[in-house]
Chains A and B, each alone.
Chain A
Amino acid sequence: MRHATSIRVGPIGFRIGSDFAAPIAALRALYADYPKSTIAHFSVRLPASAPWRWLIRPAVAIEGDYMLPDAAPLPLAQGLLAAEMAMNLQVALGHRRHLLLHASCVERDGRALLMTGESGSGKSTLAALLGTRGWRFMGDEFVLIAPESGDAYAFPRAISLKNQAINVAERACPTERFGPRLIATPKGDIRHMVPPADAIARMDEPARPALLLFPTFGEQRDVRPVGAAEAFVRLTQASTNYTALGERGFRTLTDLVERVPARAIDYPDSDSAIALVETLWRDL
């Protein structure tokens, strides 16, 4: 492809190519502090969605080693989002070394806090905020659980902030580096935040899962214990490769839910969520 770059995020290396210069330049800027991978685990392609779409209303298709048959192309101005979606897709469909959980993750003292929930639950925002308040940010999209050890491995890609979360993060983390604001994408407004320096420098360090949270944003403060069986079922739904891993996936996940306490938390705003997390963590 005419333009290409490579990025390593945690244990996964990507090679990203495009017909267009802009998405590759934007990725290079956003991921300037990340290591490269000379051989990639996955190839991502962002070609013009049709030959004439190189010139007229340019649009990028979302392609790679793994593809969805009906993935809609995005306007060139949203190339960073196309790259993010394509990279996620490769991991979700192709990665098998770890059990993948669709979750955010932060670490302190070698122990990991995992947060998983629907889009809008605030798990990305909470991880981003905690990552600038004494925790190491490990990821806002996937946390990777090693089947052999049960350890959590980081996937600290650029944090994908949506809609109101953009303002919250801009106010709370004014010193961090942000990407361009992408307006009116299929997922609303999006702005990427580069994770804090220690998140990138220490991205190969695993952590021991110690607490599992299921946050819900917009309710009065509440904490409810979640049993191992319920946590298991919720996490099978939050895993993109649980089925593909077969028995190995089952063992890894049952081991995780039996070992790690789980809580569902409701919170009205991010400050109370952070206070709640600190309380729960202290009481472990």
Chain B
Amino acid sequence: MTAASLLARVLAEPDRAAGLDPTAWNALIAAARAEQLIGSLALRVDLAAVPPTVADVLHDARDAAIEQRRTALWEAEMTRRVLAPLGVPLVLLKGTAFVAAGLSAGQGRHIGDLDLLAPRGVLPAVEQALLEAGWAWAKPDAYDDDYYRRWMHELPPLIHRERDRMIDVHHTILPPTARPIPDADALIAGAVPLGNGLSVLAPADMVIHAALHLFADGDLAGGLRNLWDIDHLLRECADDDADFWLKLHARAAEHQASAYVARAARLSARLFGTPIPSAWNRPRMSDQLFARRLLARDDWGRETRPATRLAFYVRSHWIRMPPLLLARHLLIKARRRAADARAR
């Protein structure tokens, strides 16, 4: 059993924490930090029932999560003030959306960049307004910049010069080169207003976004945290709405995301015991591989299973780009790495 498996078990069944020995605690803390799940762990575990050193670590993680939440909401507010005059729809995504909407998925969650969704047509105006209000391009490199604008679903990342916070402005939730093509207009049309000019995705769309982000984009590095989001979203949405699973089924089809959402639900049930309808729980052989990748973290917090990780790395490029574009992209990146190495 890897340290990440232990982490998944304790997150799902926090009472198990009481029986851990020091070796297991060291492994659990290292894995939770590496997977950026230490804040979530800190909120799940009863701090009165753990050894004093563990309580120190988890108290610090709770404090850090509270501070990250405050910072994330402040950054959303600062952005709202700059963009409000444009009068365009602005949808918060991921961690900031979870805390702004008061969802359980936001509790203890690590939040890095501010992720925002806006209609594609207004992106130039949004970018201009941000640049005039103190944001600057974080990657001032011509190829990267051009790559983002042509092939990505977001503007090149911008960073605020004084607050040192990044913002990713998306026009949809997957790169246009990826196989499924979610309906971006429907995402924005269905968004739920927060009452301050910002909104968040509708519950089913939030799950679909999380599932596509994890399984249709990227190599699943650090993906355990995304699956933990999915577990919480599924539990909370199903509690709030008896028809949630039917709505999720229909909505996933509209976004060409059915297979990805189904996999997300199965793996969440497999690793975190999420209650899912029996019709959703028809395991595939490949689930085993995905679980193996998601749990590739050892008791020192290092990534393990290099072959599995390499396979998913190759897959991530394969599903994101057509072969010729991929070849060109890898060639340019390799040349640049070689040039950087010579310069050093």
- Genuine A/B complex: yes
Q: Are B64 and A41 in contact (CB under 8 A)?
A: no
Chain A residues within 8 Å of B60, by CB? 94-97
Given contacts A17-B300, A39-B53, A43-B300, 8 further A-B contacts (CB under 8 A): A39-B26, A39-B29, A43-B29, A65-B301, A95-B60, A96-B64, A244-B67, A245-B67
Q: Are A65 and B33 in contact (CB under 8 A)?
A: yes
Closest 4 CB pairs of A and B: A96-B60, A38-B22, A39-B53, A65-B33
- B interface residues (Cβ-Cβ under 8 A, vs A): 22, 25-26, 29-30, 33-34, 51, 53-54, 56-57, 59-60, 63-64, 66-67, 70, 300-302
Residue of B25, B34, B64, B302 touching A244 (CB-CB under 8 A): B64
Does any Cβ of B come within 8 Å of A238's Cβ? no
Would you list which residues of chain A between 48 and 103 have a CB under 8 Å from chain B? 64-66, 94-97
Residue of B54, B67, B70, B301 touching A43 (CB-CB under 8 A): B301
The contact string, 1 if C-beta is below 8 Å from chain B, for chain A 225-267, is 0000000000000000000111010000000000000000000
Does any Cβ of B come within 8 Å of A15's Cβ? yes
Nearest Cβ in chain B — how far from A180, in angstroms? 26
Does any Cβ of B come within 8 Å of A121's Cβ? no
Chain A residues within 8 Å of B30, by CB? 43, 65
Does any Cβ of B come within 8 Å of A45's Cβ? yes
Chain B residues within 8 Å of A43, by CB? 26, 29-30, 300-301
What is the chain A residue whose CB lies nearest that of B38? Answer: A65
Does any Cβ of B come within 8 Å of A276's Cβ? no
Nearest Cβ in chain B — how far from A143, in angstroms? 18
Chain A residues within 8 Å of B300, by CB? 1, 17, 43, 45
Does any Cβ of B come within 8 Å of A37's Cβ? yes
Nearest Cβ in chain B — how far from A273, in angstroms? 36
- A40 and B67 in contact, given A94-B60, A97-B60 (Cβ under 8 angstroms): no
Nearest Cβ in chain A — how far from B157, in angstroms? 15
CA–CA, A64 to B54, complex, Å? 17
Q: Are A37 and B53 in contact (CB under 8 A)?
A: yes
Q: Are A246 and B70 in contact (CB under 8 A)?
A: yes
Does any Cβ of B come within 8 Å of A13's Cβ? yes
Nearest Cβ in chain A — how far from B254, in angstroms? 39
Would you list which residues of chain A between 174 and 200 have a CB under 8 Å from chain B? none
CA–CA, A22 to B271, complex, Å? 40
Q: Are B53 and A41 in contact (CB under 8 A)?
A: yes
- A39 and B34 in contact, given A13-B53, A17-B300, A94-B60 (Cβ under 8 angstroms): no
Chain A residues within 8 Å of B63, by CB? 96, 245, 248
Q: Are A97 and B56 in contact (CB under 8 A)?
A: yes
The contact string, 1 if C-beta is below 8 Å from chain B, for chain A 10-48, is 010101010000000000000000000111110101010
Q: Are A39 and B64 in contact (CB under 8 A)?
A: no
What is the chain B residue whose CB lies nearest that of A90? Answer: B33
CA–CA, A97 to B256, complex, Å? 47
CA–CA, A205 to B53, complex, Å? 18
Chain B residues within 8 Å of A65, by CB? 29-30, 33-34, 301
Chain A residues within 8 Å of B67, by CB? 244-246
Q: Are B59 and A97 in contact (CB under 8 A)?
A: yes
Would you list which residues of chain A between 119 and 136 have a CB under 8 Å from chain B? none
Chain B residues within 8 Å of A96, by CB? 60, 63-64
CA–CA, A41 to B51, complex, Å? 11
Chain B residues within 8 Å of A246, by CB? 66-67, 70
Nearest Cβ in chain B — how far from A243, in angstroms? 9
CA–CA, A39 to B56, complex, Å? 11
- Write 11 A-B pairs (CB below 8 A) sorted by A numbering: A38-B22, A41-B53, A41-B57, A43-B301, A65-B30, A65-B34, A66-B33, A96-B60, A96-B64, A97-B56, A245-B67
CA–CA, A64 to B33, complex, Å? 10
What is the chain A residue whose CB lies nearest that of B24? Answer: A39
CA–CA, A13 to B63, complex, Å? 19
CA–CA, A97 to B22, complex, Å? 21
Nearest Cβ in chain A — how far from B132, in angstroms? 26
Nearest Cβ in chain A — how far from B171, in angstroms? 28
CA–CA, A244 to B57, complex, Å? 15
Chain B residues within 8 Å of A40, by CB? 26, 29, 53
Chain B residues within 8 Å of A244, by CB? 64, 67
What is the chain A residue whose CB lies nearest that of B51? Answer: A39
CA–CA, A253 to B22, complex, Å? 35
CA–CA, A17 to B54, complex, Å? 19
Nearest Cβ in chain A — how far from B197, in angstroms? 26
